[in-house]
Amino acid sequence: MASGNLEMGFIFLTQTIVGILGNSFLLCLYNFTLFTGHKLRPTDLILNQLALANSLVLFFKGIPQTMSAFRMKYFLGDIGCKLVFYNYRLGTGVSLSTICLLNGFQAIKIDSSMCRWMALKFRSLKFIGFCCFLCWIPHIFLSSCLLRIVSGPVSNQNYSGKNNQEDCSWQMQGIFSPLYTILYFSSDFLCLGFMVWASGSMVLVLHRHKQRVQHIHCHSFSSRCSHESRATRTIMILVSSFFTFYSVYTLMTVWTTLVANPGRWTVNTSVLVSSCFPALSPLVLIISDTRVSQICFVCSMKKNGFA
């Protein structure tokens, strides 16, 4: 059992460190472009918010869970547990809303006939910033419910629900537990449904567009189409990975809350799945962003020049 805990602890530690470093790099990159306007893209503000939300998830889920796996002395009291769960849920909710915003932005961009008013508005960085701001509002209030039901370390665990950390718990009256769980995750399932619709629309538009222009050999048109396809492919990878990881995590959370008394393996697996997207998505964005390769090339040239 101790060996298994150490292995899981090292997995959590690696996942958290990789994710925090990746998201920190993206925050520096996107904030630099936003402040300087150098090679600024409309999606930079959205992706900057995604990196911030992912950092919240990793700080308030990955670090406490790593400590728990290593059996370190738990320092969180009642207030600490409430803050950890509140910020984790806030980060997860904002990440979900931001992915929906990014998905919708790209869907409207490649098919402006879908919503001409939104297509015009999305050209304004102020409008994108307003949409990003709106992503926070519902989750700030929704996550506040956790401040009532989450409690700190206690010796007796006779509760209808149990948390994803060993020393914190949540307590709900049994009659309200199923209703609260359904209401709690209803907005998430709506967002996941929107992702499926927007992603399907993008695939259909790109497929039809490819059939129409397959005999056109204009270089400028081809390069533009290639850029849009590359950006759409990156967003599709992000959306599909988020959809997969978050759907599995949500189903496991609902199952452990309503049906089962979760064992240690179930708890660890649930936390591992919930942190996969925040840890891996920065790698996808770093690899797909041509500005990163340009920065690496410039740094390499300067290093060789000073050698």
Encode the chain (307 residues) as per-residue pLDDT tens digits: 455 567 888 888 899 999 999 999 999 999 988 888 777 888 899 999 999 999 999 998 888 888 777 776 556 677 778 888 889 989 999 999 999 999 888 888 877 666 666 666 777 788 888 989 999 998 888 888 777 777 766 544 444 444 444 467 666 655 556 666 676 777 778 888 888 888 888 878 777 766 666 555 545 445 555 666 777 888 888 888 888 888 888 788 777 766 656 666 777 788 888 889 999 999 999 988 888 777 776 776 666 655 4
Separation between Cα atoms, residue 128 and residue 122, nearest integer Å: 6
Q: Which two tokens stand for residue 100?
A: 């929906």
According to the model, what pLDDT value does residue 167 have? 61
Q: What is the DSSP letter of 73?
A: P
Separation between Cα atoms, residue 206 and residue 110, nearest integer Å: 8
Quote the crossing angle between the two packed helices 44-57 and 78-110, to the nearest 10°: 150
With residue 10 as reference, give the H or E element that holds it: helix 2-36
- How large is the C-alpha radius of gyration of the chain? 22
Q: What is the pTM of this model?
A: 0.83
